[in-house]
Amino acid sequence: MKLRTFALEWFQVIVWSVWAIVVAGGLAIIATSGEPRVYLAAKPLPANHRLIEGDLAEAGWPYRFLVPGWRTRAAFVGRYLIRRIPSEGEVIEFGATSGAPSFPVNRSVLGWFSLAGLPVADVAGLDPGHRIEICNLTKGQCGDLLVEAVVCGATAGDCWAGIRLSNAQRDRLIAATTTKSPKPAIVVFTHGAGKHP
């Protein structure tokens, strides 16, 4: 009887509270399994490019309000573009990115150096735009070079750094190996240029 009296007097509060719980439940479903949010490219990007913060520009209102999904920018950073983004402002959809690109970027531009054997955390922290140290063990020379792209294979740790090399540099390199290092992402090669799988 007391419960009935309470329900009669607080009926509207109870109804709105139940509705709020239902709404929150629905929001949780959307939030946890929602389609990814889309982002705009801040600049033209090549296929297989690993995305960094600077590559992404958030869409403005009301597009941002209307597009489905709950994932934030962090969900995109570190993933690889399956398709080329030809111009700034184009939509990058989550479905157009991948964690394991199946083909490399233009070989004629980059020299590829395997990152296998490096600590996983070092590889994960390596992004396009970083600089890494490359040493020729035969000659004992080291150089600080710009990373143009990072691509990974399907297996864990099968990652490659794309580094722009001059033809002279390329000719001198015969092969590359990697070694663990106290400093992140130091690639050491002995001789020759690497081949991307």
Partner 1 sequence: MFTSVIGALTSALPKYFIFGAYVPLLIFSFVNFGLAYVLSAAVRSAVQSAYAASAPLTIGIAFVGTVAAAYIVSSINDFLRRFLEGRFVGPEAVRRFLSDRQQLRRAARQTTNRKAIAQRLAYRSRRPGWTERLRVAANTGHAASPGRSSYDPVADPAAVALDGLRDALNRPLDIDAKTVDAVVNALVAALSVNDKLADAVLYRDHEQLLLMIDTILNAAIISENENTLYLNTYFGGAMPAPTRMGNVADAMQGYAISRYGMDLTLFLSRLQAILVKNDAKDYPIVLDAKTQLDFLIACTWFSAVTTLTWFVALIAMRGSPGVYVAVALAGPLVSWWFYLLATENYVAYALAVRACVDVNRFALLRALELPLPSTVHAELRLWSALSHAAATGTAIELSYEHTPK
Residues that bind partner 1 (CB under 8 A): 4, 7-9, 11, 19, 23, 26-27, 29-31, 33-35, 64-70
Residue with Cβ nearer partner 1 (11 or 106): 11
Q: Exposure string (b/e) for 143-157, b if CB count within 10 Å is 16 or more?
A: eebebbbbbbbeeee
Residue with Cβ nearer partner 1 (91 or 174): 91
Residue with Cβ nearer partner 1 (9 or 171): 9
* CB 83, min distance to partner 1, A: 18
* CB 94, min distance to partner 1, A: 12
**How far is the CA of 63 from the CAs of 37, 40, 177, in angstroms?**
11, 11, 47
The two beta strands, 159-164 and 110-114, are antiparallel
Give the 3-state DSSP-derived string for 123-135, with helices as H, strands as E and coil as C: HHCCCCCCEEEEE
* CB 71, min distance to partner 1, A: 11
Residue with Cβ nearer partner 1 (65 or 103): 65
* CB 96, min distance to partner 1, A: 15
